[in-house]
Structure 1
Amino acid sequence: MPRTARRRIVFLDIDGTILDHDGTIPPSTPDAIRRARANGHLVLLATGRTPYEVDVQVTDIGFDGIVAGAGAFVEYDGEWIVERLMPEASCRRLREEFDALGLDYVLQGREYFYATAGMQRHLRRQLGVSDGEGVSDRGLGRYLGEIPPLRHDRTAKAVFSGDDLGAYDAVQRAVGAEFTVITGTIPGMGTASGEVSMPAVTKGSAIRELVDRIGMDLADAIAIGDNNNDLEMLELAGVGIAMGNGTLQAKEAADEVTAPIDEDGLAKAFARHGLL
Structure 2
Amino acid sequence: MSGTDVWVGSWRPHKPRGPIAALYSSPGPKYALPGATGLNYHDPRKLKAPAFSFGTRHRQFSSDCSPGPGYLVPSNITRIGRDGTPAYSLYSRPNDPQLFQTPGPGRYSPERSGKSAYYSAPAYSLSARSKGFRNDQTPGPAAYMLPSVLGPATVNKTSAPNFSLRGRSKIGSFHEDLQKTPGPGTYRVVDPCTYKHKPPHYSMTGRNSMPGDTTRKPGPGAHHPEQVTFTRIKPPSFSFGIRHSEFIAPLIVDLAE
TM-score, structure 1 length as denominator? 0.10
Rg larger in 1 or in 2? 2
More strand, by proportion: 1
TM-score, structure 2 length as denominator? 0.11
Higher relative contact order (CA 8 A, sep 6+): 1
